[in-house]
Amino acid sequence: MNKVRRKTIFIGCAFVVVLSLIVLSKLASQSHRNAAVINSSVTLRTFVDRWQRAGEPEGEGVDKLLVNYGSNTPFVYTNTVTVGEMKFDCVFAIQSWGMAESGMFAITRDKTIIWVGEKGSRVVHLVFDK
């Protein structure tokens, strides 16, 4: 093979390798975000279930329910979040470190999960078995 042809093949192979690495990086990033959404949502739903079974206590009663959640601990978040024309009265939230933008997941009494981020809020639609 002549030098020009070898160089062209080498550049083509290098391009394919770089492009593959970019695609794999994007897929891994998306997978990490999906895991953060699912983990945060399950933690919030589980906590709200416990809180509701305990009679929806406030103050120290809530603090007693929060002791076993480690670094991914929900916190009281009683803000009203607007998504489009809809308003959601939240009861708890959890900080999310796995998303591209900083923010948190909030939950309502009826277990609607809402992303509250720097770029706005949106409802997170997940299907859970009841």
Kind plus residue range of the DSSP H or E element containing 16: helix 3-53
Which pLDDT does position 1 carry in this prediction? 58
Which pLDDT does position 108 carry in this prediction? 93
What does the alpha-carbon distance between residue 117 and residue 105 come to, in Å, rounded to a whole number?
Answer: 8
Closest C-alpha among 120, 93, 88, 97 to residue 105: 93
The model's pLDDT over 51-102, given as tens digits with 9 standing for 90+, comes to: 999 998 888 888 888 776 666 778 899 999 988 888 999 999 988 766 656 7
Residues composing the chain: 130
Mean pLDDT of 27-31: 49
38 pLDDT tier (thresholds 50, 70, 90)? confident
Q: Concatenated DSSP letters for 47-102?
A: HHHHHHHTT---THHHHHHTTT-GGG--EE---EEEETTEEEEEEEEEEESSSSS-
